[in-house]
Structure 1
Amino acid sequence: MRKSIENLAGRKMTGGRKVANRGRRKFEIDRYPNEAVAGTTDIVIRRVRGANVKAAFKTAEFANVVDSDAKKVTKSKILKVSKNTANRDYERRGVISKGAVIETEAGSALVTSRPGQNGVVNAVLIKAKQ
């Protein structure tokens, strides 16, 4: 479980200043979020806790789309992000996150992976193109 560090410093209920009794720990470090968008594939490798690495998409060109009716997976080009329930701003900016609905060459697909964390876009076909 990750600890919250919101209350290391701040103000008391009375408005007085609180002084943090310690600084940030290594496991409390913060980063800018990596928000994957549609475009020519660009992957960022980041070192994370435990000297592990995370491959994350900055831009993604293709998605692995599962067609449950035909029982096959196809690599389809991402055309645009049509809906993102996580954040309306993400929808406007075309950010691909888990739960986003993307338009692909195969049709509309729901993203099931976390492209900003995993470095892969997996999706399930919702509506195939005719």
Structure 2
Amino acid sequence: MKYQGRSRTKRTGGRRRPIHKKRKHELGTTPTETRVADAKLKTVDTRGGNVKVRAISTDVASVATDDGVVSATINGVTRNDANPNYVRRNIITKGAVIDTSEGAARVTSRPGQDGQVNAVLVDDE
């Protein structure tokens, strides 16, 4: 988990003393690396009594085509600018280009945050 609080140095280079200890809501979590496999979801309680649905793995994407939105099966990840290793490990993040039954599509949603994969068709590069 990563803690990103206030900077410890002033603009002048002087030192800032902490105003309080770390708070629970200031902590982060490890990223949810959504893989291409059978669908598996996980719910996480968030601040304010809300709930997030994380996609641990998925094999279905809602692809926007000229005819409308179609549910397509995901075959694999072809490109991921977030991390080149994600292509080898078949990890889906926002902006990743996935190979679907409808063709190549770019992911527009955040599967680790939304729990679903939304994508739009792209020209083969």
Q: Do they superpose with TM above 0.5?
A: yes
Instruction: Give 1:32 deviation, angstroms.
Output: 1.4
SS in 2 for 1:65: strand
1:81 has 2:77 as partner: yes
Instruction: Give 1:23 deviation, angstroms.
Output: 2.1
Instruction: Give 1:7 deviation, angstroms.
Output: 5.5
Instruction: Give 1:86 deviation, angstroms.
Output: 1.1
The structure 1 segments of at least 4 consecutive aligned residues displaced by more than 4 Å after TM superposition are none
Query: Whose strand proportion is higher, 1 or 2?
Result: 1
Instruction: Give 1:35 deviation, angstroms.
Output: 1.1
Partner of 1:4: 4
Determine which of 29, 43, 48 is the counterpart of 2:27: 29
Q: Which structure 2 segments of 5+ residues have no match?
A: none
Instruction: Give 1:81 deviation, angstroms.
Output: 0.3
SS in 1 for 2:82: coil
The letter for the 2-side match of 1:120 is: Q
The letter for the 2-side match of 1:74 is: V
Compute the TM-score of the two structures, normalised by the length of structure 2. 0.82
Alignment root-mean-square deviation, CA: 2.3
Partner of 1:60: 58
2-side partners of 1:7 and 1:93: how far apart? 35
Q: Which structure 1 segments of 5+ residues have no match?
A: 14-18
2-side partners of 1:6 and 1:77: how far apart? 44
Instruction: Give 1:107 deviation, angstroms.
Output: 0.6
Instruction: Describe how 1:44-55 pairs up with structure 2 within 5 A.
Output: 44-55=42-53
Instruction: Give 1:27 deviation, angstroms.
Output: 1.6
SS in 1 for 2:122: strand
Instruction: Give 1:20 deviation, angstroms.
Output: 5.7
Compute the TM-score of the two structures, normalised by the length of structure 1. 0.79
1-side partners of 2:25 and 2:74: how far apart? 35
